[in-house]
Amino acid sequence: MKNITLIFASLLFISCSHIKSTKEVKTSAQKEAIHNKMAEKQAELTQCYGEKVIEANKEEAANLLVSWHIDEAGKAIDAEVLESSTKNKDFGNCILKTLETVKFEKPEKAHATIKMPFIFTAN
């Protein structure tokens, strides 16, 4: 069995959408909190990669760029795969379903918009 590595690349941006304006939020505490929540789901995310990419397509690596919003309750909504190095849609859907299970910290007074690259490799 191959060792699977998942790298959470830096968040591309975090922004808070207010009713009348959009304000970019770049605090390291917010980014760290999101990274920590994603790290808690690393086993599930890695399982998506193992089942949907390695076993199904025999591919060695996969990169995804995923976007989602965090609502006032801390729930991931409107998640979508923006870019994928694999044509396996089941892989992206598995990642999105995992995102739906994450309970993020509530953003202050707004929805937060996240774009995050996920980089998977097999050794």
pLDDT along the chain (123 residues), means of 10: 53 37 53 86 88 75 89 92 91 94 83 85 74
- What CA–CA distance (Å, rounded) separates 67 from 17? 14
Residues forming beta bridges with residue 15, ordered by sequence position: 24, 113
Can you give the pLDDT at residue 112? 81
Tokens representing 49 are 């990669």
From residue 6, give the alpha-carbon distance in Å to each of 16, 45, 90: 27, 8, 18
Spatial contact of 26 and 17, defined as CB atoms under 8 Å apart: no
Predicted TM-score (pTM) above 0.85: no
Can you give the pLDDT at residue 65? 92
Can you give the pLDDT at residue 20? 30
Domain coordinates in residue numbering, the chain: 4-122
Can you give the pLDDT at residue 66? 93
Can you give the pLDDT at residue 79? 95
Task: Tell which CATH architecture fits domain 4-122.
Answer: 2-Layer Sandwich (3.30)
